[in-house]
Amino acid sequence: MKDSVSLENLIIEDLLRIYPYSMEFFNINGLPIDDVNNTVKDYITSLPYVFLEDMGLNQEDLLKRFRAFMSRMKDIGEERTFSIRDITILGGRGKNEKLEEIELKISMGEIICIVGPTGSGKSRLLADIEWMAQRDTPTKRQILIDGSVPPRDWRFSVEHRLVAQLSQNMNFVMDICVGDFIKLHAQSRMIDDTEDKTREIIFHANELSGERFDLNTPLTSLSGGQSRALMVADTAFLSTSPIVLIDEIENAGIHRNKALELLVGQNKIVLIATHDPLLALMGNKRIVIKNGGIQKVIETTSDEKRCLIRLTEIDNVLIRYREILRNGDLLDDNM
C-alpha cells in the first residue's frame, strides 16, 4: 500500500477501486461524492467551508482524518491476513517448582480442554498463551508460534492480535448501545454489511442467553450472562484471531454447547478451561493441571466420545428443566 499521504493524490475512482473499504471514510463522515475524477485532496479542499464547519473541522483536519483512516485500515488489513499453523507449549514448572516435562504442539482446528481442581492453574495456562510467555511468567513456560519464538513486539501489537479471550469476568465500560458497539467493531474489521452482521450477532447472542436484548439495549445494562453471550457471538462472527481462549464458559448461565458450536465452527485453535465434564470431553485432547503444573495430556478416547453422547442427552434434560423453572412453571415427575 502507498503511504497515506500519497493516497490523497489518487483520483477517487482509483482509490475506491484499489481500496474498496475507503468508501467507509466518505460514509462515516457524511461526505457526498459527486465527481469521482477529483483527487481526494482536491475533493476535500473544495468542500464548502460551511459544510466543514458543521463537522467542527477544517480542510487540513479532514485530510488528517483521511490519512489516519487509511493508515489504520492498512494495519487492520495486515492483521486480517495474519494466520498461524500451530502453537507449542514448552513446559516450565509447577507451584512446587516441579518441572513440567512437556512439549505440546497444538495445530489449527484442534480443540484442547484444560481441566484440574480449583486454583490449580488453568487460567494461568491460558494467560501464558495469551501473553506468549517467554519463561517470564510465574510458570516459566515458553510459547512458540509455528515452532519459533514470536517477535517480541507481537506481544504488545494490536495488529498481531493472535488471541481472542473470553474470560470469566466481562464488564463493559463503554456507554453505548449494543447495536453501535457491534457496528463499530464490524467497521474496524472492514465488514461491508454491518447491519446484517449486527442482526446476526444479536440473534445468536439471544439464542445463547435467556432474557432477550436488542440493538438499543445499553451495554452497561446487560447482565453478566448477556454480556458473555454477546462476546461469544461477537468473537464468533467478527474476530479474526487464530486462537480462541475460553475460561469457564459454563458459569455464565448461557447455552454452553451452542456457544462452543459457534466458536469452533472456524479453523482456529480453541483452548477451554473448564470444570464441566461435557465441555471437557468436547476437545480432542485435554490437559490435566495439578498444583500449577501440566500433569498430563490425554487424548479423548472413543469410549469417552460415547459418554459424551449420553452426557449431552442428560444435559438437554437439565436445560429443559432449567427453562421450566426459570419461567416460573412447575416440574412434574413424568417429565
Is residue 113 at the binding interface for ligand ATP, with CB under 6 A as the rule? no
Using an 8 Å Cβ cutoff, are 143 and 135 in contact? Answer: no
CA-wise closest residue to 296 among 114, 67, 24: 114
Is residue 116 at the binding interface for ligand ATP, with CB under 6 A as the rule? yes
Nearer to ligand ATP, 96 or 267 (CB): 96
Is residue 150 at the binding interface for ligand ATP, with CB under 6 A as the rule? no
Nearer to ligand ATP, 77 or 253 (CB): 253
Helix (H/G/I), strand (E/B), else coil: 167: coil
Is residue 183 at the binding interface for ligand ATP, with CB under 6 A as the rule? no
Is residue 124 at the binding interface for ligand ATP, with CB under 6 A as the rule? yes
Exposure letters 217-249 (e unless 16+ CB within 10 A, then b): bebeebebbbbbbbbbbbbbbbbebbbbbbbbb
Angstrom distance (rounded) from CA 35 to CA 55: 21
Radius of gyration of the chain (CA): 24
Is residue 286 at the binding interface for ligand ATP, with CB under 6 A as the rule? no
Among 123, 226, 227, 239, binds ligand ATP (CB under 6 A): 123
Among 138, 210, 218, 277, binds ligand ATP (CB under 6 A): 138
Q: How far is CA 260 from the centre of its chain?
A: 13
Is residue 142 at the binding interface for ligand ATP, with CB under 6 A as the rule? no
Is residue 267 at the binding interface for ligand ATP, with CB under 6 A as the rule? no
How many of the other CB atoms lie within 10 Å of CB of 175? 8
Q: Applying CB under 6 A, which part among 36-44, 73-81, 114-122, 207-215 lies near ligand ATP?
A: 114-122
Partners of 99 in the β-ladder: 93
Among 7, 8, 69, 120, binds ligand ATP (CB under 6 A): 120
Exposure letters 280-316 (e unless 16+ CB within 10 A, then b): bbbbeebbbbbebbbbeeeebeeeeeeebeebeeebe
H helix or E strand, kind and range, residue 330: none
Nearer to ligand ATP, 29 or 295 (CB): 295
End-to-end CA distance of the chain: 63
Q: Helices (DSSP H) in 149-251: which residue ranges?
A: 178-188, 194-208, 224-238
Is residue 274 at the binding interface for ligand ATP, with CB under 6 A as the rule? no
Is residue 204 at the binding interface for ligand ATP, with CB under 6 A as the rule? no
Q: Applying CB under 6 A, which part among 10-18, 23-31, 122-130, 196-204 lies near ligand ATP?
A: 122-130
Q: How far is CA 47 from the centre of its chain?
A: 39
Nearer to ligand ATP, 71 or 168 (CB): 168
Among 41, 65, 95, 285, binds ligand ATP (CB under 6 A): 95
Among 7, 8, 22, 94, binds ligand ATP (CB under 6 A): 94
Is residue 118 at the binding interface for ligand ATP, with CB under 6 A as the rule? yes
User: Shortest Cβ distance from residue 195 to ligand ATP (Å)?
Assistant: 38
CA-wise closest residue to 180 among 215, 227, 220, 221: 215
Instruction: Give the number of residues in contact with ligand ATP, rule: CB under 6 A.
Output: 15
User: Shortest Cβ distance from residue 88 to ligand ATP (Å)?
Assistant: 18
Q: Applying CB under 6 A, which part among 112-120, 149-157, 205-213, 257-265 lies near ligand ATP?
A: 112-120
Is residue 119 at the binding interface for ligand ATP, with CB under 6 A as the rule? yes
Helix (H/G/I), strand (E/B), else coil: 309: helix
| Residues forming the site for ligand ATP (CB under 6 A) | 94-95, 116, 118-124, 138-139, 273, 292-293
